[in-house]
Structure 1
Amino acid sequence: MTRFGYTLMTEQNGPKDLVRHAVAAEQVGFDFEVSSDHYFPWLAAQGHAPYAWTVLGAVAHATERVDLMTYVTCPTIRYHPAVVAQKAATLQLLADGRFTLGLGSGENLNEHVVGEGWPSVDVRQDMLEEAVHVIRALHTGELVTWEGQHFRVDSARIWDCPEGGVPIGLAVSGDKSVARFAPLADHFVSTEPEAELITGWNAAEGAPRIGEGGARAVGQIPICWDPDLETAKQRAHEQFRWFAGGWSVNADLPTTAGFAGATQFVRPDDVAENIPCGPDLDAIVEGVRPFWEAGYTDVALVQVGGDSVDRFLDEAAAPLLEKLRAAAP
């Protein structure tokens, strides 16, 4: 059956609220929880960006059942892959095997802060591939020395390492990245409900097959539930209009001011065309439907607006999950 998850949106809540929401989301019935890993919010109106790994450590301790995942971490510039390997191993031990390490090639918004520049997309993907190899090697628990084009590792070892390492999900966005990264991953990650991506993944030589082979296809969709439609549309516009730019744009803008400028002419109705808004749960179900129809096994929901999360979890989440599970295969 399709699994439905809740997104711990670090850009719109502080760390204590995120942990509290994680517990509430588990109690209301979500199957898994994913966390963004940002240094900046997308827009200043969102107002937060706590350290995701500290939050996830607390969430792992405070929850019991839900699977956990980074959605997604860039292991190449802001973090060295050897450090990502260590913290992923630690989190997996804290989570008793419930954690999946979601990785991607990153966004300028978060990676520019360490002053190492922002490479071209081809270089970023080269770096990501190399980082995956480093992380896999360290998750054997053996001593690792690595000399690559982008990274060096000198006599490193993960001393507290879960048996079998940590499963890795890799974010892909097109045919080229699917062919390159499918053989390196355990799970597929994308935000686009396109069946061709999953078909290409399953056809890639050496790739773990989605569904039949145990690989999961994990998608994500923002929603903006609110009892009042206009309130929902205004909130989605204020905090999520950056979403309309698409990832080819979103990956390269460096600051919240840049996102504000790039989206200054986006209207609330434009946002509502891409994000299900308002009280109609059936409309939200229809917004999510393209994911399972495309072959996704897992879909994480983002409730837009940090101040609205408590009411969403209290009033809307349970009946929405019931409707989603009734509609999905």
Structure 2
Amino acid sequence: MRIGYFLSCEEYTPAQLVEQAVAAEEAGFDALWISDHFHPWNDEQGQSPFVWGVIGALSQACRLPVTTAVTCPTVRTHPAIVAHAAATAAVQLEGRFVLGVGSGEALNEHVLGDVWPSAETRLEMLEEAVEVMRELWTGDVVTRSGRHYSVDTARIYTLPDQPPPVYVSGFGPKATSLAARIGDGYISTKTDADLLDQFRRESGGKPTMAGTKIAYAPTEEEGVDHAHRIWANAGLPGELAQVLPSPQHFEQASQLVTRESTASSVPAGPDPQVHLDAVREYVDLGYDEVYVANMGPHYLDMIAMFGKDVLPELRSL
């Protein structure tokens, strides 16, 4: 079991993300997740730095492993470019890099004016994209013409000793089956025992990662306020997160999420037991790695509290 810290590019500046990573390493976290977005979910979050630039900075600031959670290598960014970026990240991190991939959201992928495909087509594109990346990581000159992607005499010269593992996110049965079939591991943010069991069964026991968010603050009320102001979109149901195209649409939809709903679903405030219980739900399901993000400005206090009160308890289980 590894407990990691989740860096939210949607909410923090590059300098703040590096600050959090350094503090997380000092506090005893085992690894890092980092989100990969073109847009934040809403304007209140207010940030969205280019993830590959931040990963380069992280490689020089700490020694923790890094996983993208997750990169979409299908619409906005051609898989050959993602393969190039991931190879460099793996070199900079001396092999401590996992490329987490998923089928993406319109929020980030529509920005070049491309049509946003159906869910089935997105999964098909993701499978082909992973094939392209793995072929390029061989170091060979690659020429191919696939259904969705073409590559012409391309070769990646800066390569790690071993290709980066590819973990695939899955939030439904079809995506979970694809993750089991093509991924080196599984990524989720759900406490869904059925999907986790499906992945374990179909993959033959490949490793699993999960991520969650808390809102540490001096009081529970302040924590709920931060979570509702910044991350009300997390309470939206169904496939809205995949199809809404802009932060403004998410802001409109998030008006349907009440503060009471946020308060009932988000671990908030200063009590370490509240946050321990939230993470333990994922641990008890059997995820191999769990990553925790903080919502709001008190991230250094949250990291220190976890290092002192939560991580030792989790490791004693």
- TM-score, length of structure 1 as denominator length: 0.93
- Does 2:276 match 1:280? no
What is the aligned counterpart of 1:309 among 288, 299, 304? 299
The letter for the 2-side match of 1:167 is P
The residue aligned with 1:321 is 311
Distance 1:289-1:246 versus aligned 2 partners, 3 A rule = farther
- Please say if residues 167 and 179 of structure 2, whose CA atoms lie closer than 8 Å, have aligned partners that are also in contact: no
- Please say if residues 73 and 79 of structure 2, whose CA atoms lie closer than 8 Å, have aligned partners that are also in contact: yes
The letter for the 1-side match of 2:84 is Q
Q: Report how far residue 174 of structure 1 moved.
A: 2.0
What is the aligned counterpart of 1:84 among 64, 82, 85? 82
Task: Describe the superposition over 1:58-110 as per-residue Cα deviations: whole angstroms up to 9, x where unpaired.
Answer: 1012112x211100000011110000001101110100110000000001111
Identity across matched positions, percent: 37
User: What does 1:242-261 correspond to in 2, within 5 Å?
Assistant: 242-246=233-237, 248-261=239-252
* Structure 2 CA distance for aligned equivalents of residues 237 and 120 of structure 1: 30
* Structure 2 CA distance for aligned equivalents of residues 88 and 232 of structure 1: 35
Q: Report how far residue 265 of structure 1 moved.
A: 3.0
Name the SS of the counterpart of 1:232 in structure 2.
Answer: helix
* Structure 2 CA distance for aligned equivalents of residues 123 and 130 of structure 1: 11
Name the SS of the counterpart of 2:243 in structure 1.
Answer: coil
What is the aligned counterpart of 2:213 among 203, 208, 222? 222
* Structure 2 CA distance for aligned equivalents of residues 246 and 297 of structure 1: 26
Gapped regions of structure 1 (runs ≥ 5): none
Q: Report how far residue 236 of structure 1 moved.
A: 0.6
User: What does 1:1-329 correspond to in 2, within 5 Å?
Assistant: 2-64=1-63, 66-204=64-202, 207=203, 209-210=204-205, 215-246=206-237, 248-305=239-296, 307-326=297-316, 328=317
Deviates more, 1:98-107 or 1:261-270: 261-270
Deviates more, 1:224-233 or 1:307-316: 307-316
* Structure 2 CA distance for aligned equivalents of residues 34 and 318 of structure 1: 21
Name the SS of the counterpart of 2:67 in structure 1.
Answer: strand
Name the SS of the counterpart of 2:287 in structure 1.
Answer: coil
Name the SS of the counterpart of 2:151 in structure 1.
Answer: strand
Q: Report how far residue 315 of structure 1 moved.
A: 4.3
Q: Report how far residue 316 of structure 1 moved.
A: 4.7
- Please say if residues 95 and 162 of structure 2, whose CA atoms lie closer than 8 Å, have aligned partners that are also in contact: no
Q: Report how far residue 195 of structure 1 moved.
A: 2.2
* Structure 2 CA distance for aligned equivalents of residues 24 and 290 of structure 1: 25
Gapped regions of structure 2 (runs ≥ 5): none
Name the SS of the counterpart of 1:270 in structure 2.
Answer: helix
The letter for the 2-side match of 1:323 is E
The letter for the 2-side match of 1:46 is Q
Task: Describe the superposition over 1:193-252 as per-residue Cα deviations: whole angstroms up to 9, x where unpaired.
Answer: 222222212222xx3x33xxxx32100111001121110111110011100114611111
Q: Report how far residue 187 of structure 1 moved.
A: 0.9
Q: Report how far residue 280 of structure 1 moved.
A: 1.6
- Number of matched residues? 317
* Structure 2 CA distance for aligned equivalents of residues 49 and 28 of structure 1: 25
* Structure 1 CA distance for aligned equivalents of residues 28 and 207 of structure 2: 19
* Structure 2 CA distance for aligned equivalents of residues 41 and 182 of structure 1: 29
The letter for the 2-side match of 1:264 is Q
Structure 1 residue runs of 4 or more that deviate by more than 6 Å after TM superposition = none
Deviates more, 1:129-138 or 1:256-265: 256-265
Name the SS of the counterpart of 2:115 in structure 1.
Answer: coil
The letter for the 2-side match of 1:220 is G
